[in-house]
Amino acid sequence: MKLPAFLRLSPKWAPYVFISPFLVLFAVFGIFPLCFSLYLAFQSWEPTGGLKAMEFVGLANFAFALKDAWFWTALKNTLWLAIASGVPQHLVALPLAAFIHASFKRLRDGVIAVYFLPYITSTVAIAIMFNALFSKDYGLVNAALAQLFGMSHVDWLHDVGHIKPAIAFIVFWRYVGFNTVLYLAAMQTIPGELYEAATLDGASRWRQFFHITLPSIKPMIFFGVTLSVIGGLQLFEEPFILTGGKGGPQQSAMTSAVYLFREAFDFNDFGGASAMSWLLFVVVALLTWLTNLAFRTRKEAA
């Protein structure tokens, strides 16, 4: 059956129509908020006064953010957490992937699924679980530490000195599987002949790892590290939920993302929060660029 002409899609328009659902959604949920927050960053706005209550203030919001002591505290917390959770992720994921790649054949998918599970678990469930594990008097972590090392009970989530390591550990636990999958996928693309040739030449597995595996998966390491840099700097859910949205004792677990959320929704300063979010974007862009520099091969760099 043939449709009447006015219902038929002309080939000229078809591609646009087919791509439009994505573009419409992206415009509404991606581009609009982006532009709106950029616009807000230059406004002073008392939100309960409605949209009409905005007032152009130039760069005042940026100047305020740069002078605000809590903005810098939050940024320092963020960098601390990004390093403490990010570096171990890769240092563990790389050898782990190599080990799984070399040692498991039929069980590999099952093993990797176990490591990947935390990544797809809801953050809220994770937060509730770790809240229980890290509980001062009844938590398993304290019970185990007391049992093994005779340590006295630590108030992990309410103690200035302990909440950051606790959160870093949770983030590490959550993403190490994701990175392992990345590296494992990359290792599977390395031709087996390389290893065979190396074995014939008498290279140990250690040397094989450093001279074949690592160089071959370098692009993937770059990809994984970049994701960790970006994700680490935008860390929000874990600290937000574990501290009840408040940032923890003496703000020691308040990341930049948590702070700018609070600045907007707790302290009603949407202009200041938008300016902070763009400053955070600058930091993310800068560090991503530095990562890129670090991974560029020497020849290219020259």
Partner 1 sequence: MTSSDDFMRGVRTFAPSRRTVLGAGLAAALAPAVRAKEPRITLTVAAFPLVDQIVKDAIPQWQQRHPDVAINIVMRQYDDHHTAMTTALSTAVYLPDVMALEASYVGKFSDGGGLSDLLQPRYDIARYKDRFVAYAYDQAVNKKGQVVAAPTDIGPGTMLYRKDLLDRAGLVAADLQPSWDAYVDAGIKIKKATGANLIGNVRTFKDLMIRGGLKQGQGIYFDSDSNVLVDTPRFHRAFELSVRMRRNDLEGHLETWSNEWAEGFRRNMTATELGGSWMVGQLANWVAPGTKGLWRAAQLPESTWVSYGGTYYAIPRDSDPGKKALAWELIEMMTLDPQRQLAALKTQDAFPALLSAQADPSFDQPSEFLGGQHARLLWREAARHITATAVHKQAKFAEDAVNVALDSVLDDGVPIPKALSDVARLLELRARR
Binding site for partner 1 (CB under 8 A): 44, 46-51, 53, 64, 67-70, 158, 160, 246, 249-251, 265-269, 272
* Residue 75 and residue 283 in contact, taking contact as beta carbons nearer than 8 Å: yes
CB of 139 to partner 1, least distance (A): 14
Q: For residues 260 and 264, what is the distance between their CA atoms, to the nearest angstrom?
A: 6
Element (H, E) at 227: helix 218-233
Query: What is the CB neighbour count within 10 angstroms for residue 285?
Result: 11
Q: Which amino acid is at 214?
A: L
Long-range contacts of 43-49 (CB under 8 A, 24+ apart): 43/271, 44/271, 45/270, 45/271, 46/268, 47/268, 47/270, 48/268
Residue position matching structure tokens 């090392």? 149
Among candidate residues 128, 42, 76, 91, the one with its CA nearest the CA of residue 254 = 76
Helix 108-120 vs helix 160-188: angle between axes, to the nearest 10 degrees?
Answer: 140
CB of 46 to partner 1, least distance (A): 4
Query: Which residue number, 80 or 259, has a Cβ lying nearer to partner 1?
Result: 259
Decide: helix, strand or coil at residue 44. Answer: strand
| Residues 6 or more apart whose Cβ sits within 8 Å of residue 88 | 172, 176
Query: Which residue number, 123 or 135, has a Cβ lying nearer to partner 1?
Result: 135
CB of 68 to partner 1, least distance (A): 6
Query: Which residue number, 199 or 250, has a Cβ lying nearer to partner 1?
Result: 250
CB of 48 to partner 1, least distance (A): 3
| Residues 6 or more apart whose Cβ sits within 8 Å of residue 52 | none
Among candidate residues 173, 160, 171, 133, the one with its CA nearest the CA of residue 247 = 160
Query: Which residue number, 49 or 219, has a Cβ lying nearer to partner 1?
Result: 49
Query: Which residue number, 67 or 105, has a Cβ lying nearer to partner 1?
Result: 67
CB of 35 to partner 1, least distance (A): 17
Query: Which residue number, 238 or 269, has a Cβ lying nearer to partner 1?
Result: 269
CB of 226 to partner 1, least distance (A): 34
CB of 232 to partner 1, least distance (A): 24
Query: Which residue number, 108 or 162, has a Cβ lying nearer to partner 1?
Result: 162
